[in-house]
Structure 1
Amino acid sequence: MLVPLKWLNDFIKIDDLNPQYLADAMTMSGSKVEDVIETGKEISNVVTGKILKIEKHPNADRLIVCMVDTGKDVIQIVTGANNVKVDNIVPVALHGSTLPGNVKIKRGRLRGVESNGMMCSAKELGIEEKNAEHGILILPDSTKVGADIKEVLGLNGVIIDFEITPNRPDCLGIIGIAREAAVTLNRKLDIPEIKVKENSVLIDDYININIEAKDLCKRYAARLIKNVRLGESPDWIKERLTEAGIRPINNIVDITNYVMIEYGQPLHAYDYNKISGRQIIVRRALDGEKLITLDGKERILKNSMIVIADGDKPLVVAGVMGGESSEVTEKTTAVLLESACFNGTSIRLASKALGFRTEASSRFEKGLDPNIVLDALNRAAELIAELGAGDVVSGIIDKYEDKLKPWTIDVSADRINRFLGTSISRNEMKDILTRLDIKVKDGEEMRLTIPTYRSDLELEVDIAEEIARIHGYNNIKSTMISGETMQGGRNKKQRIEDKIKEVLVGTGLYECISYSFASPSDFDKINIPKDSSLRNTVKILNPLSEDLSIMRTTMIASMLGVLSRNYSKKNENAGLFEIGKIYIPKDGEKLPDEKNMLVIGMYGDYDFYYLKGIVQLLLKSLGMDGYEFVRDNKNMTFHPGKTADILIYTKKGDSNAKKINAGIIGQIHPDITERYDLPDSTYLCQMDFDALLENCMIERFFKPIPKYPAVQRDLDLLVSRDTMASDIENIIREKGRGIVEDIKLFDVYEGKQIPEGKRSIAYSIIYRSKDRTLKDEEVNEIHAKIIREIESRLDAKLRL
C-alpha cells in the first residue's frame, strides 16, 4: 500500500522525521516497508523561467526562438511548442539537468541556432498532463521566477510502500497506518471530527433499502447527494490520489477513492436517477444473470455472488465492480453514496470467478470492520459539501442488525513474560496496550477490551505478540533455550518400515509413492466382486476428479497403475514396492480404519518364484520363520493356479501357534493385465504391514556353534502335481523328533520318466542333535518314518 507522508502527516506529526528512520521504525514494529519512494528524485536543475521575447526560427517554420529569464541568467531556448507567449512562466530544464526516465538535457544547436535548455511539458516532468494538446506547462503568473520546479509543483514528496499482511485489514487505510505510527513513535494520533453540512430534505423520502442476503452483507448504509456538480477535483486531491496509485477521474469518483485510501473502507456512487423504483436490494445474484460492468464487458453472474439491485435489475457486483447502467456521468444530477460491509469470502470468490481484482475487492476480501462504515460515508459527504460538488441530503439510511461489539481477553503479565522470555513490567504492558487503543481493566489478570477493527486479536498469544513488537524485538535479549531434553529415537513401526525398505531395495526393487485417492472404476478393472466389502469406501466431498473421488481400500490398483505408466514409457523391466495406507469405513464412526499395507509389483525378467523368494527373504529378515504359502484359486484379481495366500504364525517360530492370513502373492489375471496394458507376466504381492509389525521378531538371539556333527539325508519323492511343498515340509518337521535342523528343496522336475500329472521333488534334510552325536541307525529310523508318513498322507512314492 502506497502511503504519501504528507497525507499521513494530517493524522500524526511526522514532518520532523527522516523518512528512512520512519520506515525502519515501522518495519521493526511489524509494519513491513517495501520501499521509500521520493517523488521528483529524478528531476534536477529544473527551474521556473519567464519568457521575455519570442522570434521565428530563421531556418525552420515550425520552430521558435525564445529568450527566457531563469532568475540568474537570460538564456536562449529553441522550441517547437505553439502554446507559449511572452510573459508566460514555464518550467525550464537548464544545461546539465535530468528528467524522469533518466533523460539528460544539454545545450546544443537546433537547425543552426543555439539552444541552452528546454521548456518542459507536464508529461516530461512525470506528472498528470492537463491539456496535452497545448504542449508546454504554463504556470500561474504569480509563480516566482528562478524557483526550483519541485518546490513549485510539490514534486518533493515522499511515499512509503507498506506490505500489509492479510490479518491486518485495518492497515489498508492511511488512518490505520497512522495508528500504527502513533503507537510505534509514541506520538499523538489526531483524527479530526467529521462535520457534515446537510440541507433540510430527508433521505427517507427518496430511497428504500432492503438486505435480503443478510449472511453476505453485515451492514449497508447510504447517503443522498442532490444538485451534483460533476467536474475536476482540486489539485491537492488529485496529487494525493496519484501518489497513492489511483488515477483521478472526476470529483465524485475521486472523493469515494480518496475516502477508501484514507479509511480503508470502499465506497460506491450510483446515479440516483437510474435506480428503478427508488429502492436498493442487497441480494444474491441469480445463476446466469447478466450485468455489463464499468469496463463495458458483459458478466455472467453466479448465485454465490452478491449484487446490489434495484426493482428491475442488478446494478453492481457488490464489492467488486460497478455496473454501466448506474454509472455517474456528466449528466448525473443526484448521487446515492454507498458504504457497506460485505462477506470477504464471497467477494474473493466473485472476484476470482469474474477474472478481475479491484482496490475495493482486495479490501473487502480480507474482512473489514463494519463499525467504520458510517465514518467513511460521512467523510465522503463532508468532502462533497466542502468542495461544492453537491448538496448533502439530511439523514442516513443504515441497515445494521447484528452489531459487532468489542470483545474481551483475559491475560496474565507473568504468562506473557514466560511466553516471550522477557521481564517487561506490568505497567509497560498496560501503556503499550492503551496506546494500541485497547482498554485495560486491572486485576489479578488484566481484562482487555479489543476494538472491533482489530479482528486479529483473539487469544493471549496475540496480545503477547502485540506487546513484543511494540516493546521492540530488538530489545528482547537472546536467551538459551530451556526445558527438559530427551534422546530421540525411532519407534518400532519406523524401525520395521526402515528394515523392510532396506531388504526390498537390496533385492533391486524401487520404492514408489501413489495417491491414497482412487477411482470407483478401479474395482471393476481388478475384478473385485460386486458384493465385496472392498467396494464400501470413504467418499471425498470435493474430489479433484472422478478418478480421485474415493479413498482406496486396496493398494493393488495403485500399484498396477504405476506399473502401467512404467510399461507405457518403454521400461522393459520394473520392480517396485510401496508402503501405504488403505481406508476401511467403520460402522457408526466418522473416521475410517487406516490400515498400513505393503505392496510389491513387478514385470519383465521376473517370475512367481523370484517374487516368492523376495517375500521369503523379507519374512526371514523380520525373524518370522513360521509361515506358509497356501494355494488360492478364488481371488479373481490373480491368475488361478498361480496364486497363494501368505499365512504367518501369531507367535514367532511356534508351529502350534494360530495362523493368520497376512497377504496374497501371485500372477495378475490376464484380463486385468490387458486392461492395464501390461504384459501377461506381471506379478504382485500385497501384505498386511500391521500384521508383520505385530508378529515380527526384530531382536536377535545367538546360539553357540554346534558341538556335534550333522547328518545329511536326501529325499527324492514322486508326488501329485497338486501336492504342496509346504505339506511335505510340515510332515518332515513333525516326524523329525526335534533333530531336523534344516530342510532344503533342491530340485523340482516334470518331464520324461515322470508320469503325467506327477512331479519329482527332491529335498536335502540336515539332522543334528544339541546334546549328542547322532548314530546312523537313529537317523535312518527317523528318516524311514518320515518317508512312510509322506507316502501315507500324500500318496507319494520314494524314487530310488
Structure 2
Amino acid sequence: MLVSWNWLKQYVPLDMPLEELQRRLTLSGLNHEGTAEVAGDMAIDLEVTSNRPDCLGHIGIAREVAVLWNHALTIPAANPRESKTPVDSLVSVRIECPDLCLRYTARAIRGVKIGPSPQWMARRLETVGLTPINNVVDISNYVLMECGQPLHTFDFGKLGNKGDRSNLPHSGPSGAAHKLDLSPLFPREIVVRRPLLGETTEAIDHKTYQLGPEMCMICDGKAPVAIGGVMGGAQTEISPDTRDVLIEAAEFDPVSIRNTARLLNLHSDSSYRFERRVDPEGLDWASRRCCELILDLAGGELARGIVDVGRPPRKREPIVLRFSQLQRILGIEVPAERVREILISLGNVEETGKQGLGIGDWGLDSGIGVQGSGESGGCEAASGKSHISNQQLSNPQSLIPNPSLTMVPPSWRRDLTREIDLIEEVGRIHGYDAIPEDVGVPMVPSARRREDRVLEKVRHVLTACGFDEAVTLSAVDRHTSESLSPWTDAEPLRSALPVVRGADRLRRSLLPSLLAARRANEALANPIIELFEIAKAYLPQGAELPREPLLLGIAGGRDYPAVKGVVEAILRELKIAEPVEAEEAGIAQLDTAASCRLRFRGQTLGYVGRLTDDALKQFDLRGPATVAEVRLAPLIEAADLMPRCVEQSSYPAVTRDLNLVVAESVRWADVAATARREAGPCLETLQYRDTYRDEKRLGVDRKSLLFSIVLRSGECTFTNQQADEIRERIVAACRSEHGAELRT
C-alpha cells in the first residue's frame, strides 16, 4: 500500500519526523517497506496484512496515526447537493446471484463535463502509482485510495434500458449530439447475475474474456457491462463524449472475486480489496464522496437518493475484554482508562451499563478473596456476610466481579471477533516496546505433533548420510509430469493459471523435480549431488478431491544397494517393528535388476531403483542416478518414538559370511526371511553385501547373493561349532526353499 505524505496530512496532523512515523507504524503492525520521493511528495510503502483491509486506504492509515499520536482524525463529510429527480426513476437494480453480490448501490449524475483532473488530484494519484485518465475516472480511483472502497463509473448513455434498448440521440448541454437522455420514460436497469453459457465480455483493457459460471457479471438490459469487483467493460467506459454517469458501490463475495481474478489473470486494485472484504457500512459514504467530487470537478446534477439492493449490514457482536486476561497475556498492567481510550479511538463502541459484567466467577484477580475465617478483606463463606477492607473502598474497581469492558467493533474491523483480538489491539497501540524485557509472562509448554517428531528423525538420518534437502515447486510442466509417475497413470490436475511459464500441472511424484535439480547441479559441475525432499504429491481421483500423500523423495548418484540402505536406516531409526517386504518394482524407468517395490502392511510403501539408460537420457543426466520415493503416512503411524534401554550382552559376537547362488527370480527378501527364521534368537544382525552376476561362472539367469550374519548369545560365548551349525541350517533351508547353492 503506497501512502502519500501530503495526502495523509489532509486527515491527520503530521507533526512528527518521517522516520518516526515509519518506525511507529512498523511497531504497530504496518511494516515499512520503503519510501521514495515523487514530485515533491513522499510515497511511503507499507505492508498491509490480509486481515487489515481497513488500512488499504489513506483514511485507515490516518486513523492508525491519530491513535498512535493521540491526534484528531478529520474525515470529509461527503454531503453532495441533490436535484429533485429521484434516482429510482432513472435506474433500477436487480440481483440474481445474492451469493456473489451481497449488496449493490447506484447513484446517477447527468450533465457532467469530462476533462483532465486538477493538478493536486493528479499528483496524489501519481504518488501512489496511478496514472491520471480523466476527472471522473480519477475521482473513482481517488476515493478508492482514500477509503479503500472500490467504485466504478459507467457511461449512463451507453447502458441499455428496460423499454427501448436502442440508444436515443438528443441534444446535450453544449448543443452537441448526445447519446441518451436520462428520461424516466426509459429507465436503465442494472442486473447482477452469473454469465450465460459461453458468454464473453470485453474489459476496459480491450481484451475479450471467456466467462465462467461462478463469476459475477454487471449487466444492462442487453449484455454484460462489467466483471463485478474486477474490471469494468469497454462498452460503457467513460469517454470524452460522456455526459451522464452511473456510480456503482457494491460488496461482492471475496472468494468469487479471488477466483475470478485468478481464472482470468485479471488483477486490479479493486479486486485486491474485494478479496479482503470491504466495509459494508462504508459503501454509502464512498458513493456520496465520489458524487461530491464529481459535482465539484466535473459539474452536473445528482439525482436524489440512492438505489440500494441486497442484504443490510449485519449486526456486530459485542466483545467482552477482561482486564485480568489483558494483564495475563501482555504481562503488564495497562490502566483501564488507557485501555478504553485506545479501543474507542480505534472505532470501537463501548456498550454502556455492561462494565464489570465479566465472564466466570467473582474475580480473584481483582483482589477479592474467599476465606472461611471471615478475616478483613475477604468474604465469609460460612455465614454469607461480606467484609470489605479500607483498601477496596479506596479502589472501587476492585469491587467489580472480573472488571471488564464490553466493546462493539467497528464495521471496518472484521478481524475483531474475540477477546484476544482486543488484547492485541491494546498491546500494539500501547506499544510492545513498552513491555519490559524481564516481564513475567507465564510460559505454557507446547507438545510437538507426532508427524513433526517423525519427520525430524527422517531428516536427521538423511543429512547424516550426506543428503541435502531440496524444495521444489508443486507445479510442473507437461513433459516433467509425464516423465515419471509411479503412483498413478491418471491425468494430472491442471491449473488455469501456471505458477511459472508452462508449469500448469500439479506433480504426481517428487522424483522428476529432484532429477531436474540434479541435472541443473550437473551443469554447474557440482561434485556431490545427493538430494531429498519431503512434500506432497497430488493424485487425481476423478471428480473427487485429489489424494495428497506426504512423500519422501530421494535422488542421488549412489548405487542401488546404498540408496536402499538409506531407506532401511530410516526404518531402523523409526523402529518399524513390522516387516517391510521388497518385490519387483514394475516401473519402466527403473532397472529391473536394481529396483524394488516396498510393501508394508499389504500396501505399497514406496519404490527404490536405479534409472535405466533410456531414463538417464530422458532426464538429460550425465551420470548414473538412483531414486527412491516413500509414503510417509504409514511410517508416521507405525513409528515407535518411545526411547527404550536394552541390556547389551557381555559375550562376544561371531560373524559368518554366506554366498548363495540362486535363480534370477528369487528375491533377496525371501532369502533374508529364511535366514532370520533359521538363525533364531541368536541372530543379532543380517547384513546384505552384494549381488553378483556372471553367465560364464554362474550360468544363465543365475545370480549370487552375498550376505553376512552376526550371532551373539546373552548367556554364554558362542563357539565356532555353534556358529557353523546355524550357518549350515541356513544353507540347507535356502537350498530346499529357493534352490540355492553355496558358492565356495
Report the TM range for the smaller structure's normalisation.
0.5 to 0.7
Shift of 1:733: 9.7
Shift of 1:424: 0.3
**Alpha-carbon separation, structure 2, partners of 1:768 and 1:332:** 97
Paired residue type of 2:208: R
* Deviation sequence 1:1-24 (CA, Å, 0-9, x none): 444647744x55x38x35648836
Q: Which has the higher contact order (CA 8 A, sep 6+)?
A: 2
Shift of 1:414: 1.8
Give yes or no for contact 2:563–2:626 (8 Å, CA) kept in 1.
Answer: yes
**Alpha-carbon separation, structure 2, partners of 1:662 and 1:333:** 71
> Which structure has greater strand proportion?
1
Shift of 1:238: 6.5
**Alpha-carbon separation, structure 2, partners of 1:500 and 1:413:** 49
Which range moves more in the overlay, 335-344 or 571-580? 571-580
Say if 2:401 is the partner of 1:458: no
Given candidates 180, 188, 198, the residue that maps to 1:279 is 188
| Secondary structure in 2 matching 1:375 | helix
Which range moves more in the overlay, 389-398 or 250-259? 250-259
Shift of 1:280: 3.4
Give yes or no for contact 2:514–2:555 (8 Å, CA) kept in 1.
Answer: no
Shift of 1:455: 2.4
Matches within 5 A, 1:630-709: 702-704=648-650
Given candidates 443, 448, 452, the residue that maps to 2:407 is 448
Say if 2:105 is the partner of 1:221: yes
| Secondary structure in 2 matching 1:224 | strand
Paired residue type of 1:210: R
Shift of 1:353: 6.7
Shift of 1:380: 3.8
Matches within 5 A, 1:294-305: 297-303=206-212
Instruction: Report the CA distance shift for 1:431/1:703 in structure 2 as closer, same or farther (over 3 A).
Output: same
Shift of 1:374: 1.7
| Secondary structure in 1 matching 2:288 | helix
Given candidates 241, 244, 250, the residue that maps to 1:334 is 244
Shift of 1:423: 0.7
Paired residue type of 2:438: T
Instruction: Report the CA distance shift for 1:663/1:244 in structure 2 as closer, same or farther (over 3 A).
Output: closer
Say if 2:419 is the partner of 1:421: no
Instruction: Report the CA distance shift for 1:677/1:550 in structure 2 as closer, same or farther (over 3 A).
Output: closer
* Deviation sequence 1:726-777 (CA, Å, 0-9, x none): 979979996999899999999999999999999999999999999999999x
Coordinate RMSD, CA, aligned: 6.6
Given candidates 44, 60, 63, the residue that maps to 1:161 is 44
Give yes or no for contact 2:674–2:734 (8 Å, CA) kept in 1.
Answer: no
Shift of 1:378: 2.5
**Alpha-carbon separation, structure 1, partners of 2:290 and 2:156:** 16
Shift of 1:449: 0.7
Give yes or no for contact 1:580–1:596 (8 Å, CA) kept in 2.
Answer: yes
Matches within 5 A, 1:369-768: 369-383=279-293, 389-441=299-351, 442-445=355-358, 446-479=405-438, 482-483=441-442, 493=454, 497=458, 500-501=461-462, 504-505=465-466, 549=506, 551=508, 702-704=648-650
Give yes or no for contact 2:462–2:566 (8 Å, CA) kept in 1.
Answer: no
**Alpha-carbon separation, structure 2, partners of 1:728 and 1:643:** 17
Instruction: Report the CA distance shift for 1:570/1:176 in structure 2 as closer, same or farther (over 3 A).
Output: closer
Shift of 1:600: 8.3
**Alpha-carbon separation, structure 1, partners of 2:332 and 2:155:** 58
**Alpha-carbon separation, structure 1, partners of 2:31 and 2:512:** 47
- Counterpart for residue 361 of structure 2: none
Paired residue type of 1:448: M
Paired residue type of 1:422: I
**Alpha-carbon separation, structure 2, partners of 1:481 and 1:668:** 59
- Counterpart for residue 23 of structure 1: 21
Instruction: Report the CA distance shift for 1:645/1:377 in structure 2 as closer, same or farther (over 3 A).
Output: closer
Give yes or no for contact 2:695–2:701 (8 Å, CA) kept in 1.
Answer: no
Instruction: Give the unaligned 5+ runs of structure 2.
Output: 162-186, 359-404
Give yes or no for contact 2:594–2:610 (8 Å, CA) kept in 1.
Answer: yes
Instruction: Give the unaligned 5+ runs of structure 1.
Output: 42-157, 529-533, 651-658
**Alpha-carbon separation, structure 1, partners of 2:693 and 2:298:** 109
Shift of 1:429: 0.8
**Alpha-carbon separation, structure 2, partners of 1:33 and 1:570:** 38
* Deviation sequence 1:137-158 (CA, Å, 0-9, x none): xxxxxxxxxxxxxxxxxxxxx6
Give yes or no for contact 2:472–2:514 (8 Å, CA) kept in 1.
Answer: no
* Deviation sequence 1:266-307 (CA, Å, 0-9, x none): 4444333332213232334555524262x6x34335236544
| Secondary structure in 1 matching 2:85 | strand
Paired residue type of 2:357: E
Paired residue type of 1:397: V
Say if 2:88 is the partner of 1:198: no
Instruction: Report the CA distance shift for 1:518/1:211 in structure 2 as closer, same or farther (over 3 A).
Output: closer
**Alpha-carbon separation, structure 1, partners of 2:35 and 2:687:** 83
* Deviation sequence 1:61-110 (CA, Å, 0-9, x none): xxxxxxxxxxxxxxxxxxxxxxxxxxxxxxxxxxxxxxxxxxxxxxxxxx
**Alpha-carbon separation, structure 2, partners of 1:301 and 1:334:** 29
Instruction: Report the CA distance shift for 1:183/1:329 in structure 2 as closer, same or farther (over 3 A).
Output: same
**Alpha-carbon separation, structure 2, partners of 1:522 and 1:388:** 57
| Secondary structure in 2 matching 1:219 | strand
Give yes or no for contact 2:105–2:249 (8 Å, CA) kept in 1.
Answer: yes
Say if 2:96 is the partner of 1:212: yes
- Counterpart for residue 384 of structure 2: none
* Deviation sequence 1:456-511 (CA, Å, 0-9, x none): 32333332222123223343322257556989999985686467547855xxx888
